Chains A and B, each alone.
Chain A
């Protein structure tokens, strides 16, 4: 619809205003991470830009530097003791390992299932699809208590063995991601005509060869989109990790520990939060094209 010039200007300004409104919390968050403590906790006024930016919060959370030492070096006066609690390097590692592992497992499992659901006709196909979809409707809270108890009894918790803890989180995240991955990939496989497989198999390729060498390369875009969504959902997951692991703290769980009885360490919280958000931003911009399809489990195509 064509708008007259003044109205177009009004619309443009309003669009910019609304977008800025939605960008503001993230901007404020990143800004706070650069503030020294005095600027964060100013009770008299909200400090916008009149502060000296500092990277101290990043140095402590991401590089594991000692806060009190940094405070002395920068002439900010004494900080509080206790440095390890804010060193988040191992949490970053936990999050990265678990997210990548979960994404890999999900994709391996989901690609096979999605191909069969797209290509083969068999009894119980719809039932299987519904079973997969059902996992999307399952509240994580309904399965987490028995899992915690079972892991405890079987000696498979992260406190028993750190690597098993990684593995169990990966597997649970894989279950959580399974419906979105299977249904999204199925919708991409459905886009490839069945003639492609048939032609390959008439020429002597086995079912598996037709899948791996012919069809799989044709859905690369879909696989990338599904993998990115799995990664993002694993990266942002909170409830399962909170209940299941003790020593392993993924970033969303770790950040909660900065809320202390003597006050919240907003500088560290915002610094780690900002760092935790950046991988997601990069990935989401890479798969913009398939985002709607992914978020609606393949039922809406753009």
Chain B
């Protein structure tokens, strides 16, 4: 840095009062962290504490009053089969989506990892789904999966894979698959992008050595690529997993947890309690369960795979 530049700046501010100069030259982190802390306290910490406090109350359906009764909701929720269903759906949704996204993401990344002409454009195109509002993606698939004029549903019917007039999202057994299709379509590109970054940062020499030793590309992939990419994969799974565990948008828009409760996750269950019977304490309890699930799963994951964000 040129000395003249900084000296000029310093002289410029000599007329300022001393206390102001002292703040500006302070080495204390407080002024720097204060705005962020304020935001996190007011919009993060306060509502979280309020949610915990609210979950310790019992809502009386008749009088609509909330009475302090700390254990009521927490005992009630663990005896609620619908909560266990929602938990199961949440884990299923997360597990299936992560496996598909990871495997497809890796395969597509391997496919697109080339310096040939046109591959750069294809890689850029693959990132486009990431910026579509998930609520809009959900509508997209709602249109395409429509039983009477949806292009995907009609296509499957033409191939004889679905009976005519079948509504994928309206049936108990296939609704989850329909929602997952939207989820997987939108977020596989996320994995592709990260896997590509990982692949491109791999050193060349081990692969050359392996090729000389007569290793097949498949062997090289399992013995070299995968182990060297393990940290990248773990970070990608962690980030994606946290989002999947609180899945809401696709479910709310495409099936609204239905048919029945076929696609109800913890988050959408909480939303339904809130919109349905306005039982805030119970809704908060379910919402906090989502939080615990995320904390426990991600902590265990970070311990096992030794990753940090």
Contact = CB atoms under 8 A, between A and B. Distances in A.
B132 interface: yes
Contact of A203 (B6, B135, B200): B6
B50 A146 contact: yes
A162 interface: no
Q: Which of A12, A115, A251 has the most CB of B within 10 A?
A: A12
A213 interface: yes
A163 to B, nearest CB: 18
A48 to B, nearest CB: 9
A113 B284 contact: no
Contact of B27 (A108, A112, A120): A120
Contacts of B270: 141, 145
A16 B126 CA distance: 11
Interface string A250-278: 01110110000000101001100100110
Given A15-B111, A207-B24, A238-B133, A178 B39 contact: yes
Contacts of A149: 50, 54, 280
B111 A11 contact: yes
Interface stretch (A59-67, A71-79, A84-92, A131-139): A131-139
B194 A295 contact: yes
A291 B47 CA distance: 31
Contacts of B197: 292, 300, 302
A154 interface: no
A142 B287 contact: yes
A1 interface: yes
Interface stretch (B68-76, B79-87, B168-176, B291-299): B291-299
Contacts of B7: 203-204
Interface in B104-161: 108, 111-112, 114, 116, 118-119, 122, 124-137, 139-144, 148-149, 151, 154-155
B21 A206 contact: yes
Contacts of A276: 133, 136
Instruction: Classify chain B: how many residues form its interface, as a range.
Output: 35 or more
Contacts of B144: 25, 28
Q: Is the interface of A mostly helix, strand, loop or mixed?
A: helix
Interface in A87-140: 108-110, 112-113, 115-117, 120, 122, 125, 128, 131-133, 135-140
Given A11-B111, A19-B125, A25-B140, A280 B131 contact: yes
Contacts of A225: none
Nearest to B201: A302
A201 to B, nearest CB: 8
B239 interface: yes
Interface in A195-220: 196, 199-201, 203-210, 213-214
Contacts of A230: none
Q: Which of A141, A209, A239, A285 has the most CB of B within 10 A?
A: A141
B290 interface: yes
B242 interface: yes
A138 B44 contact: yes
Contact of A295 (B54, B193, B217): B193
A141 B189 contact: no
Interface residues of A, number: 107
Contacts of A236: 131-136
B32 interface: yes
Contacts of A235: 131, 133
B166 interface: no
Contacts of A144: 47, 287
A-B pairs, top 7 by smallest CB distance, nearest first, are A280-B131, A116-B32, A146-B50, A204-B10, A206-B25, A139-B246, A252-B135
12 contacts: A15-B122, A25-B141, A28-B143, A43-B148, A112-B32, A112-B36, A116-B29, A145-B47, A172-B43, A206-B13, A207-B27, A288-B124
Interface of A: 1, 8, 11-12, 14-16, 18-19, 22-23, 25-26, 28-29, 32, 40-43, 45-46, 108-110, 112-113, 115-117, 120, 122, 125, 128, 131-133, 135-147, 149-150, 171-172, 174-175, 178, 182-183, 196, 199-201, 203-210, 213-214, 232, 235-239, 242-243, 251-253, 255-256, 264, 266, 269-270, 273, 276-277, 280-281, 283-285, 288, 291-292, 295-297, 299-300, 302
Given A178-B36, A200-B6, A210-B6, 11 more contacts: A26-B132, A43-B148, A112-B36, A146-B48, A146-B50, A149-B280, A199-B1, A208-B25, A213-B9, A238-B248, A273-B136
